[in-house]
Protein backbone atom coordinates (compact mmCIF):
# COMPACT_ATOMS: atom_id res chain seq x y z
CA UNK A 1 0.00 0.00 0.00
CA UNK A 2 1.30 3.49 -0.84
CA UNK A 3 -1.16 5.67 1.09
CA UNK A 4 -0.18 6.22 4.72
CA UNK A 5 -2.82 4.83 7.09
CA UNK A 6 -3.55 5.99 10.62
CA UNK A 7 -4.60 3.35 13.14
CA UNK A 8 -6.10 4.70 16.35
CA UNK A 9 -6.11 2.44 19.40
CA UNK A 10 -9.07 3.47 21.57
CA UNK A 11 -8.94 2.74 25.28
CA UNK A 12 -10.37 3.91 28.59
CA UNK A 13 -7.27 5.63 29.92
CA UNK A 14 -6.19 6.07 33.49
CA UNK A 15 -4.67 8.68 35.81
CA UNK A 16 -0.97 9.30 35.24
CA UNK A 17 -0.49 10.57 38.80
CA UNK A 18 -2.35 10.58 42.11
CA UNK A 19 -3.40 14.20 41.42
CA UNK A 20 -5.02 13.05 38.18
CA UNK A 21 -7.35 10.56 39.90
CA UNK A 22 -10.16 13.02 40.66
CA UNK A 23 -10.27 14.71 37.22
CA UNK A 24 -10.06 11.27 35.57
CA UNK A 25 -13.07 10.12 37.62
CA UNK A 26 -14.92 13.33 36.79
CA UNK A 27 -14.42 12.75 33.06
CA UNK A 28 -15.63 9.16 33.47
CA UNK A 29 -18.82 9.98 35.34
CA UNK A 30 -19.52 13.03 33.18
CA UNK A 31 -19.86 10.79 30.11
CA UNK A 32 -23.52 10.55 29.01
CA UNK A 33 -22.90 6.88 28.11
CA UNK A 34 -22.01 6.19 31.76
CA UNK A 35 -24.59 8.29 33.62
CA UNK A 36 -27.72 8.27 31.54
CA UNK A 37 -31.23 8.45 32.92
CA UNK A 38 -34.20 10.76 32.24
CA UNK A 39 -33.17 14.44 32.56
CA UNK A 40 -29.69 13.46 33.76
CA UNK A 41 -28.22 16.03 31.35
CA UNK A 42 -29.56 18.77 33.64
CA UNK A 43 -27.23 17.88 36.52
CA UNK A 44 -24.78 15.27 35.17
CA UNK A 45 -21.81 17.60 35.62
CA UNK A 46 -22.67 18.37 39.25
CA UNK A 47 -23.27 14.68 39.96
CA UNK A 48 -19.96 13.73 38.34
CA UNK A 49 -18.20 16.33 40.47
CA UNK A 50 -19.81 14.95 43.64
CA UNK A 51 -19.03 11.30 42.82
CA UNK A 52 -15.44 12.00 41.76
CA UNK A 53 -14.63 14.11 44.82
CA UNK A 54 -16.04 11.49 47.18
CA UNK A 55 -14.41 8.50 45.49
CA UNK A 56 -11.01 10.06 44.77
CA UNK A 57 -9.38 9.52 48.21
CA UNK A 58 -10.11 5.76 48.32
CA UNK A 59 -9.16 5.30 44.66
CA UNK A 60 -5.89 7.18 45.25
CA UNK A 61 -5.07 4.67 48.00
CA UNK A 62 -5.64 1.85 45.53
CA UNK A 63 -3.34 3.45 42.96
CA UNK A 64 -0.66 3.86 45.63
CA UNK A 65 -0.60 0.06 45.93
CA UNK A 66 0.13 -0.40 42.20
CA UNK A 67 2.78 2.26 41.78
CA UNK A 68 0.97 5.59 42.10
CA UNK A 69 -0.54 5.71 38.62
CA UNK A 70 -2.28 3.62 36.00
CA UNK A 71 0.03 1.62 33.73
CA UNK A 72 -2.54 1.58 30.95
CA UNK A 73 -1.03 4.37 28.83
CA UNK A 74 2.46 2.86 28.91
CA UNK A 75 1.08 -0.58 28.07
CA UNK A 76 -1.11 0.77 25.26
CA UNK A 77 1.83 2.69 23.81
CA UNK A 78 3.78 -0.56 23.80
CA UNK A 79 0.90 -2.31 22.01
CA UNK A 80 0.87 0.52 19.47
CA UNK A 81 4.60 0.14 18.90
CA UNK A 82 4.35 -3.62 18.30
CA UNK A 83 1.29 -3.23 16.07
CA UNK A 84 2.99 -0.57 13.96
CA UNK A 85 5.98 -2.85 13.46
CA UNK A 86 3.78 -5.77 12.43
CA UNK A 87 1.84 -3.66 9.95
CA UNK A 88 5.06 -2.31 8.43
CA UNK A 89 6.30 -5.91 8.07
CA UNK A 90 3.09 -6.71 6.17
CA UNK A 91 3.72 -3.86 3.75
CA UNK A 92 1.28 -1.37 5.29
CA UNK A 93 2.62 2.17 5.70
CA UNK A 94 0.89 2.79 9.01
CA UNK A 95 1.25 5.11 11.96
CA UNK A 96 -0.45 3.90 15.14
CA UNK A 97 -1.88 6.44 17.57
CA UNK A 98 -3.29 6.03 21.07
CA UNK A 99 -6.50 7.86 22.10
CA UNK A 100 -7.81 7.55 25.64
CA UNK A 101 -11.40 8.33 26.52
CA UNK A 102 -11.06 9.86 29.98
CA UNK A 103 -7.46 10.99 30.35
CA UNK A 104 -4.40 11.90 28.32
CA UNK A 105 -3.78 11.46 25.45
CA UNK A 106 -7.33 12.62 24.68
CA UNK A 107 -9.07 11.96 21.37
CA UNK A 108 -8.94 15.65 20.40
CA UNK A 109 -5.16 15.71 20.84
CA UNK A 110 -4.73 12.62 18.66
CA UNK A 111 -6.98 14.05 15.97
CA UNK A 112 -4.88 17.23 15.94
CA UNK A 113 -1.77 15.10 15.40
CA UNK A 114 -3.46 13.11 12.63
CA UNK A 115 -4.37 16.38 10.91
CA UNK A 116 -0.78 17.60 11.27
CA UNK A 117 0.52 14.31 9.82
CA UNK A 118 -1.74 14.63 6.78
CA UNK A 119 -3.43 11.26 7.31
CA UNK A 120 -6.50 10.79 5.09
CA UNK A 121 -7.45 7.21 6.00
CA UNK A 122 -7.97 5.96 9.55
CA UNK A 123 -8.88 2.65 11.16
CA UNK A 124 -10.43 2.99 14.62
CA UNK A 125 -9.43 -0.05 16.68
CA UNK A 126 -10.93 -0.26 20.18
CA UNK A 127 -9.00 -2.21 22.81
CA UNK A 128 -12.38 -3.55 23.94
CA UNK A 129 -12.88 -6.96 22.28
CA UNK A 130 -16.57 -6.96 23.21
CA UNK A 131 -18.83 -4.09 22.15
CA UNK A 132 -20.66 -1.98 24.70
CA UNK A 133 -22.11 1.43 24.14
CA UNK A 134 -20.40 2.46 27.41
CA UNK A 135 -16.93 1.62 26.05
CA UNK A 136 -16.51 1.23 22.28
CA UNK A 137 -19.71 3.18 21.62
CA UNK A 138 -18.58 6.07 23.81
CA UNK A 139 -15.14 6.19 22.15
CA UNK A 140 -16.68 6.20 18.67
CA UNK A 141 -19.05 9.03 19.63
CA UNK A 142 -16.19 11.07 21.06
CA UNK A 143 -14.25 10.57 17.82
CA UNK A 144 -17.22 11.78 15.78
CA UNK A 145 -17.74 14.81 18.05
CA UNK A 146 -14.11 15.86 17.75
CA UNK A 147 -13.87 15.23 13.98
CA UNK A 148 -16.94 17.44 13.46
CA UNK A 149 -14.90 20.38 14.78
CA UNK A 150 -12.14 19.87 12.22
CA UNK A 151 -13.07 21.22 8.80
CA UNK A 152 -9.93 19.74 7.22
CA UNK A 153 -10.85 16.23 8.39
CA UNK A 154 -14.54 16.04 7.56
CA UNK A 155 -13.71 14.02 4.45
CA UNK A 156 -11.33 11.63 6.17
CA UNK A 157 -12.02 7.99 5.35
CA UNK A 158 -12.72 6.14 8.58
CA UNK A 159 -13.10 2.40 9.11
CA UNK A 160 -14.25 1.02 12.44
CA UNK A 161 -13.53 -2.34 14.08
CA UNK A 162 -16.60 -2.73 16.27
CA UNK A 163 -15.66 -5.96 18.05
CA UNK A 164 -13.48 -9.06 17.82
CA UNK A 165 -14.69 -11.13 20.77
CA UNK A 166 -14.77 -14.32 18.68
CA UNK A 167 -11.80 -13.61 16.38
CA UNK A 168 -9.61 -16.72 16.41
CA UNK A 169 -6.19 -14.96 16.57
CA UNK A 170 -7.41 -12.89 19.55
CA UNK A 171 -8.69 -16.05 21.28
CA UNK A 172 -5.31 -17.69 20.73
CA UNK A 173 -3.55 -14.81 22.51
CA UNK A 174 -5.73 -15.38 25.59
CA UNK A 175 -5.15 -19.13 25.46
CA UNK A 176 -1.40 -18.56 25.37
CA UNK A 177 -1.59 -16.36 28.49
CA UNK A 178 -3.79 -18.89 30.32
CA UNK A 179 -1.33 -21.68 29.53
CA UNK A 180 1.51 -19.51 30.83
CA UNK A 181 -0.43 -18.97 34.07
CA UNK A 182 -1.07 -22.71 34.46
CA UNK A 183 2.71 -23.16 34.62
CA UNK A 184 2.75 -21.38 37.99
CA UNK A 185 0.87 -24.32 39.50
CA UNK A 186 2.60 -27.62 40.39
CA UNK A 187 2.13 -30.07 37.50
CA UNK A 188 0.29 -32.56 39.69
CA UNK A 189 -2.32 -29.93 40.69
CA UNK A 190 -3.10 -28.40 37.31
CA UNK A 191 -6.10 -30.63 36.67
CA UNK A 192 -7.64 -29.39 39.95
CA UNK A 193 -7.26 -25.69 39.11
CA UNK A 194 -10.59 -23.85 38.88
CA UNK A 195 -10.67 -21.20 36.13
CA UNK A 196 -12.51 -17.98 36.97
CA UNK A 197 -13.21 -15.81 33.94
CA UNK A 198 -13.74 -12.36 35.45
CA UNK A 199 -15.24 -9.62 33.29
CA UNK A 200 -16.01 -6.01 34.08
CA UNK A 201 -19.68 -5.85 35.02
CA UNK A 202 -22.32 -3.54 33.61
CA UNK A 203 -25.67 -2.40 35.01
CA UNK A 204 -28.56 -4.69 34.09
CA UNK A 205 -30.18 -1.57 32.62
CA UNK A 206 -27.72 -1.83 29.71
CA UNK A 207 -28.56 -5.49 29.18
CA UNK A 208 -32.29 -4.71 29.08
CA UNK A 209 -31.61 -1.97 26.53
CA UNK A 210 -30.03 -4.56 24.24
CA UNK A 211 -26.35 -3.82 24.84
CA UNK A 212 -24.49 -6.82 23.35
CA UNK A 213 -21.56 -6.83 25.79
CA UNK A 214 -22.78 -9.49 28.23
CA UNK A 215 -23.74 -11.92 25.47
CA UNK A 216 -20.41 -11.41 23.70
CA UNK A 217 -18.52 -12.01 26.96
CA UNK A 218 -20.32 -15.35 27.33
CA UNK A 219 -19.39 -16.28 23.75
CA UNK A 220 -15.75 -15.34 24.33
CA UNK A 221 -15.55 -17.54 27.43
CA UNK A 222 -17.13 -20.49 25.61
CA UNK A 223 -14.84 -20.07 22.60
CA UNK A 224 -11.68 -19.75 24.75
CA UNK A 225 -12.62 -22.78 26.83
CA UNK A 226 -13.41 -24.94 23.79
CA UNK A 227 -10.40 -23.79 21.79
CA UNK A 228 -8.06 -24.12 24.78
CA UNK A 229 -9.12 -27.70 25.37
CA UNK A 230 -8.77 -27.67 29.17
CA UNK A 231 -10.99 -30.01 31.15
CA UNK A 232 -10.91 -27.81 34.26
CA UNK A 233 -14.13 -26.52 35.77
CA UNK A 234 -14.78 -22.86 35.06
CA UNK A 235 -17.14 -20.00 35.89
CA UNK A 236 -17.84 -16.58 34.40
CA UNK A 237 -18.20 -13.84 36.99
CA UNK A 238 -18.28 -10.04 37.05
CA UNK A 239 -16.34 -7.38 38.95
CA UNK A 240 -16.11 -3.63 39.59
CA UNK A 241 -19.72 -2.87 40.54
CA UNK A 242 -20.35 0.82 41.23
CA UNK A 243 -23.48 2.36 42.75
CA UNK A 244 -26.82 0.93 43.90
CA UNK A 245 -28.13 -0.37 40.57
CA UNK A 246 -28.43 -4.09 39.89
CA UNK A 247 -25.41 -5.30 37.91
CA UNK A 248 -24.49 -8.47 36.08
CA UNK A 249 -24.05 -11.44 38.39
CA UNK A 250 -22.52 -13.52 39.88
CA UNK A 251 -19.93 -11.17 41.35
CA UNK A 252 -16.31 -12.29 41.36
CA UNK A 253 -15.82 -12.01 45.16
CA UNK A 254 -19.06 -13.94 45.80
CA UNK A 255 -17.87 -16.74 43.48
CA UNK A 256 -14.47 -16.87 45.20
CA UNK A 257 -16.15 -17.24 48.59
CA UNK A 258 -18.58 -19.85 47.30
CA UNK A 259 -15.87 -21.96 45.66
CA UNK A 260 -13.61 -21.71 48.70
CA UNK A 261 -16.48 -22.90 50.90
CA UNK A 262 -16.81 -25.93 48.61
CA UNK A 263 -13.13 -26.76 49.12
CA UNK A 264 -11.55 -25.37 45.97
CA UNK A 265 -7.87 -24.79 46.77
CA UNK A 266 -6.43 -23.64 43.43
CA UNK A 267 -7.83 -20.77 41.35
CA UNK A 268 -6.68 -19.25 38.07
CA UNK A 269 -8.33 -15.89 37.35
CA UNK A 270 -8.62 -14.74 33.73
CA UNK A 271 -9.45 -11.02 33.24
CA UNK A 272 -11.43 -11.87 30.14
CA UNK A 273 -12.72 -8.39 29.20
CA UNK A 274 -9.40 -6.56 29.49
CA UNK A 275 -6.43 -6.51 27.11
CA UNK A 276 -3.99 -4.70 29.40
CA UNK A 277 -3.33 -4.57 33.11
CA UNK A 278 -4.68 -1.65 35.11
CA UNK A 279 -6.43 -0.96 38.44
CA UNK A 280 -9.10 -3.64 38.00
CA UNK A 281 -6.53 -6.37 37.43
CA UNK A 282 -3.53 -5.25 39.49
CA UNK A 283 -5.44 -4.04 42.54
CA UNK A 284 -8.96 -5.46 42.45
CA UNK A 285 -8.25 -8.96 41.15
CA UNK A 286 -4.72 -9.41 42.49
CA UNK A 287 -4.60 -7.53 45.81
CA UNK A 288 -8.21 -7.31 46.97
CA UNK A 289 -9.67 -10.59 45.75
CA UNK A 290 -6.36 -12.38 46.28
CA UNK A 291 -6.49 -11.45 49.96
CA UNK A 292 -10.12 -12.62 50.13
CA UNK A 293 -9.22 -15.96 48.55
CA UNK A 294 -6.39 -16.51 51.03
CA UNK A 295 -8.64 -15.62 53.98
CA UNK A 296 -11.17 -18.17 52.77
CA UNK A 297 -8.63 -20.99 52.56
CA UNK A 298 -7.54 -20.95 48.91
CA UNK A 299 -3.96 -22.24 48.77
CA UNK A 300 -2.90 -20.91 45.37
CA UNK A 301 -4.60 -18.00 43.65
CA UNK A 302 -3.10 -16.75 40.37
CA UNK A 303 -4.22 -13.89 38.15
CA UNK A 304 -3.38 -14.12 34.45
CA UNK A 305 -1.16 -11.33 33.16
CA UNK A 306 -2.97 -9.03 30.75
CA UNK A 307 -2.32 -9.41 27.03
CA UNK A 308 -0.10 -6.32 27.32
CA UNK A 309 2.94 -6.86 25.05
CA UNK A 310 1.76 -10.22 23.68
CA UNK A 311 3.03 -10.71 20.14
CA UNK A 312 0.04 -12.94 19.38
CA UNK A 313 -2.37 -10.23 20.48
CA UNK A 314 -0.58 -7.61 18.39
CA UNK A 315 -0.73 -9.98 15.43
CA UNK A 316 -4.50 -10.34 15.92
CA UNK A 317 -4.83 -6.54 15.89
CA UNK A 318 -2.75 -6.34 12.71
CA UNK A 319 -5.05 -8.85 11.02
CA UNK A 320 -8.11 -6.83 12.09
CA UNK A 321 -6.59 -3.69 10.55
CA UNK A 322 -5.75 -5.54 7.31
CA UNK A 323 -9.32 -6.78 7.17
CA UNK A 324 -10.52 -3.17 7.05
CA UNK A 325 -8.02 -2.15 4.36
CA UNK A 326 -8.77 -4.88 1.81
The predicted structure's pLDDT at residue 40: 59
The predicted structure's pLDDT at residue 154: 73
The predicted structure's pLDDT at residue 60: 98
The predicted structure's pLDDT at residue 1: 47
Q: Are 82 and 309 in contact (CB under 8 A)?
A: yes
The predicted structure's pLDDT at residue 155: 80
All structural domains of the chain, each given as residue ranges with its CATH number in brackets, are 18-64 (no CATH), 168-303 (3.40.50.1400)
Pairwise CA distance, residues 238 & 198, whole Å:
5
Give me the sheet containing 194-200, strands edge to edge: 234-239, 194-200, 266-271, 300-303
Q: How far apart are the first and last CA of the chain?
A: 10
Tell me whether residue 301 is exposed, middle or buried, using C-beta atoms within 10 angstroms of its C-beta: 0 to 12, 13 to 18, 19 or more: buried
The predicted structure's pLDDT at residue 71: 98
Pairwise CA distance, residues 60 & 56, whole Å:
6
Preceding amide of 158 cis, omega within 30: no
User: What is the DSSP code (8-state) at residue 282?
Assistant: I
pLDDT tens track for 253-293: 999 999 999 999 999 999 999 999 999 999 999 999 999 99
Tens of pLDDT along the chain (326 residues)? 468 999 999 999 999 999 999 999 999 999 988 866 655 556 688 989 999 999 999 999 999 999 999 999 999 999 999 999 999 999 999 999 999 999 999 999 999 999 999 999 999 999 999 999 999 999 999 999 999 888 777 789 999 999 999 999 999 999 999 999 999 999 999 999 999 999 999 999 999 999 999 999 999 999 999 999 999 999 999 999 987 889 999 999 999 999 999 999 999 999 999 999 999 999 999 999 999 999 999 999 999 999 999 999 999 999 999 999 98
Pairwise CA distance, residues 183 & 188, whole Å:
11
The predicted structure's pLDDT at residue 42: 61
Residue 152 to residues 120, 123, 148, 149, 269, Cα–Cα distance (Å)? 10, 18, 10, 9, 47
Residue 76 to residues 24, 96, 164, 233, 285, Cα–Cα distance (Å)? 17, 11, 17, 32, 20
Q: What are phi and psi of 11, to 5 degrees?
A: -145, 175
* 124 DSSP β-pair partners: 8, 160
The predicted structure's pLDDT at residue 44: 84
The predicted structure's pLDDT at residue 247: 95
The predicted structure's pLDDT at residue 16: 97
Amino acid sequence: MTEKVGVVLLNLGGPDSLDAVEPFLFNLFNDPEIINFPLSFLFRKRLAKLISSRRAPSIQEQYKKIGGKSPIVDLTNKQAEILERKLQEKGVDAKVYVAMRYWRPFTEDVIAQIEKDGIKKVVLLPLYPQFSKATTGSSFKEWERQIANKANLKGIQTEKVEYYYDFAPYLDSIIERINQTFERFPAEKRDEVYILFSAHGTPMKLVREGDPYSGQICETVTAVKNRGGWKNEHTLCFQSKVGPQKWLTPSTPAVIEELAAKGVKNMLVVPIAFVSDHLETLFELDHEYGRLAKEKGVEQYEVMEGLNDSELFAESLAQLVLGKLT
